[in-house]
A and B are shown apart, each in its own frame.
Chain A
Amino acid sequence: MSILIDSETRLIVQGITGHEGSFHTQQMLDYGTNLVAGVTPGKGGEWVLDGKVPVFDSVRTAVEVTGANTSIIFVPARFASDAILEAADAGIRLIVCITEGIPVKEMLQVKHILKSQDVILIGPNSPGIITPPHSKVGIIPGDITRPGNVGVISRSGTLTYEVVYALKQAGIGTSTCVGIGGDAIIGTHFIEILSHFEGDSQTDKIVMIGEIGGRDEENAAAYIANQMTKPVIGFIAGQVAPDNQRMGHAGAIIEGGVGTAEKKINALHSAGVQIARYPDEIPSLLIG
């Protein structure tokens, strides 16, 4: 087992004909993801990637024809909130949004609308999800992970690669790795993914990679203390970050004393989470 994606996943790619979309679609196909279609308005009827993948004009037709249940979004920021709503409206149950730079105002509306629907949004500004060895919905390089029993959750992209790669080098495998996204407003927070891992029979331990900004890690700490039986190892990036400066990610900013690494580390530590001082320490904490 694994969480969110597996061999039952029937994936469509929104923005499949774009530069990023087509490159990563090929990568996902090579990895073995069950990719059933792509969507680009105005290019319906074409077949892309050596004629292997049909393109539809809308998510609705793609779902009708292929029975897709999951979508990954690569469309540019200005059109991405519309793409999320289109997917939800067409009955997609898991939406993974890779796009970075969606205006906050639009995400507030999207979140409000999705609240009343049976749909999970991962991201935006997410590297996606990978369940080794056969399913990946995102841009995480496939060859840096191996199958195993450690669940990984992160707000970051390349830092996540760093961690799963360090695990692999130490002979530790991943059940599922989920990048929840680096924006201030995201669809799914640490807590929801932690609860998925708690209920997943393949996951024995969890690595949680947080960073400065917001209170998501503090909320997760309370949840871990009260609801989790599985051990959690944590790392928080941005321990030397200054106040009021956006550290690359839209969500990585300490504002009015809220969101410091110190507060997050203390909260997690009190919840019984072992904290790695830097990424290379994570494997030894998992083994120890």
Chain B
Amino acid sequence: MRLHEYQSKEVFTDHHIPIPRGRLAATPEDAKLIAEELHGPVVLKAQVLMGGRGKAGGIRLVRSPDEAEEEAAKILGRQIKGIPVRRLLVEEAINIQQEIYLGLTIDRQKGQTLLIASAEGGVDIEEIARSYPEKIYQVGVNPLLGLCEYQARNLATEIEIPRHLWRQFNAIALNLYRAYLDLDATLAEINPLVITEQEQFVALDGKIGIDDNALFRHHNLVDKRDISGEALEEIEARKFGLAYIKLSGNIGCLVNGAGLAMATMDIIQHKGGKPANFLDIGGGASAEKVAAALRIILSDTQVETVLINIFGGITRCDEVAHGIRQTLQEIDPKIPFVIRLVGTNENEGRQIIENAELETAITLADAAEKAVALSLEPVP
């Protein structure tokens, strides 16, 4: 789960990391009011979870409260990569001497947290890695000991932070690590971390990603989840504990297991078709869960064919078949289905759907070919 910039900055404040003065605005009038309070030039920043909002016109520097109101009205009406902007962060403009990148992330291979710093802040870390790979420095953090003072100091030396600012830099690095631990984050970035003309560090922008597996410890964050960037089907799927991701094709996929679900999408593409979604019903799904999954697929109006691919282990094919039949009795989708049931109780499963006049398949390749052929037929 990703936090918004303003949420990340609340976390920074709680952990004694300095941020610019400012507040959240939902209307142009709010923006004007906040600009008046702040006296002087302010920056308006659209609060969307998409990258590249600056290029998309989501960030504006304005000189007066009236201009703040005017520009806020423009940004608040706008969509950034399809997501409507509903809130702006209105902040004092900061005079910048230098922009640094500082972030914590996980090295999956070594199984440890890395503290990463670069003197080339202000652009994406991927961009820095491409353009200045020699200017990225990192240290591995011992998970039992935490980040050590000397490690932060070593990074400060590498990125050539002046000696008299080491203490400030160290405090920010250690506090960022504390925030990362407290929130069960898998990513905590300050980018840019700026040094002002007054030689103070300020976190100008921030990005925090929380480990979904640890959300049970952070109910307060779950309540703040922003779902405006998600498809309705995705929100519905989460209620039922289903992993669903909407794609742009017309073949709806219902599969058990994430790897098999991905492989099913892949084979559809190889056979010349286009998957409409990723959907993993998980292990041991009940008929009710299967029915919910199928309803979600059918609610996507782009879906013109459905491919159901079940390899039963813990999941029982008869249970899945019950779910399918139940849904088809409730809704008459009027689109073709291809069903492949293999593994635990496959014969019982096939009997249940036998009378429903649905296309069946034994191998995955066969199932995909049939679904693709049906998806290419003109809709009656």
Residue contact B278 to A184, C-beta cutoff 8 Å: no
Q: Is B245 an interface residue (CB 8 A)?
A: yes
Within 8 A of B (CB), among A228-266: 235, 237-242, 245-252, 256-257, 261
- Considering the chains assembled together, what is the distance between the CA atoms of A256 and B243 in angstroms? 22
Q: Which residues of A contact B217 (CB under 8 A)?
A: 103
CB distance A112 to B143 under 8 Å? yes
Neighbouring B residues of A105 by C-beta, 8 Å: 143, 181, 184, 211, 214
> What is the CA–CA distance of A237 and B261 in the complex, to the nearest angstrom?
9
Residue of A nearest to B312 (CB): A141
B246 to chain A, nearest CB (A): 9
Binds B, one of A1-9, A46-54, A157-165: A157-165
A97 in contact (CB, < 8 A): no
Question: Hey, which chain A residues are within 8 Å of B181, CB to CB?
Answer: 105
Q: Does B149 contact A (CB under 8 A)?
A: no
Give 1 or 0 for each of A133-172: 1 = CB within 8 Å of chain B CB: 0000001110010000000001111111110011000000
Q: Which of A30-38, A83-91, A194-202, A209-217 contacts B (4 or more CB under 8 A)?
A: A209-217
Interfacial residues of chain A within 93-141, with CB under 8 A of chain B in the complex: 101-105, 107-109, 111-113, 127, 139-141
Residues of B within 8 A of A104 (CB): 106, 184, 186, 211, 213-214
Q: Does A278 contact B (CB under 8 A)?
A: yes
Known A-B contacts A247-B258, A247-B261, A278-B266; the reply to A162 vs B213 at CB < 8 A is: no
- Within 8 Å by CB of B311, from A165, A219, A245, A278, lies A165
Interface residue count for B (Cβ, 8 Å)?
55
The reply on A67 being an interface residue by CB < 8 A is no
A240 and B112 form a contact (CB under 8 A) = no
Interface assignment of A77: CB less than 8 Å from any CB of chain B: yes
Within 8 A of B (CB), among A186-230: 189, 209, 211-216, 219
Contact with A along B51-92 (1 / 0, CB 8 A): 000000000000000000000000000000000000000000
The answer to the question of B109 belonging to the interface, with a C-beta cut-off of 8 Å to chain A, is yes
Whether the Cβ atoms of B311 and A241 lie closer than 8 Å is no
A20 to B313, CA, bound (A): 12
B258–A165 touching, CB < 8 Å: no
* B125 close to chain A: CB less than 8 A: yes
Which residue of B255, B261, B344, B363 is within 8 Å of A141 (Cβ)? Answer: B344
A182 contacts B by Cβ under 8 Å: yes
Is B163 in contact with chain A by the CB < 8 A criterion? no
> Is A185's CB within 8 Å of the partner chain B?
yes
The residue from A78, A112, A144, A247 contacting B112, defined by CB atoms under 8 A apart: A112
Q: Which residues of A have CB within 8 Å of B339? A: none
Q: For the complex, what is the distance from the CA of A209 to the CA of B217, rounded to whole Å?
A: 33
- With a cutoff of 8 Å between Cβ atoms, the chain A residues found around residue B173 in the complex are none
Interface string of A44-84 (1 = CB under 8 A from B): 00000000000000000000000000000000011000000
Contact of A237 among B247, B262, B314, B365 (CB under 8 A): B262
Cβ–Cβ contact A158 & B313, under 8 A: yes
A221 to B: closest C-beta gap in Å: 13
Q: Is there a chain A Cβ closer than 8 Å to B216's Cβ?
A: yes
Give the contacting residue for B278; candidates A23, A241, A257; CB below 8 A: A241
Contacts of B257 in A (CB 8 A): 156-159, 248
Complex CA gap A162/B255 in Å reads 12
User: With A104-B106, A112-B143, A140-B313 in contact, do A278 and B262 touch (Cβ < 8 Å)?
Assistant: no
Chain A residues whose C-beta falls within 8 Å of the C-beta of B259 in the assembled complex: 154-160, 182, 209, 211, 237, 248-249, 252
Contact A250-B213, Cβ < 8 Å, known A184-B108, A240-B265: yes
Q: A103-B214, A240-B275, A279-B263 are in contact. Are A112 and B184 (CB under 8 A)?
A: no
How far is the CB of A30 from the nearest CB of chain B, in Å? 14
Partner of A156, one of B144, B213, B258: B258
Interchain CB contact under 8 A, B214 and A139? no
Q: Do A241 and B262 have beta carbons less than 8 Å apart?
A: yes
In-complex Cβ contact of A161 among B266, B269, B313 (8 A): B313
A140 to B368, CA, bound (A): 24
Are A245 and B213 also in contact (CB < 8 A) when A161-B311, A238-B262, A240-B266 are?
no
Q: Is B99 an interface residue (CB 8 A)?
A: no
Identify A248's interface contact among B243, B267, B269, CB under 8 A.
B243
In whole Å, how far is A75's beta carbon from the nearest beta carbon of chain B?
15
Cross-chain pairs A/B with CB under 8 angstroms, 5 sampled: A158-B257, A165-B342, A241-B278, A242-B245, A280-B365
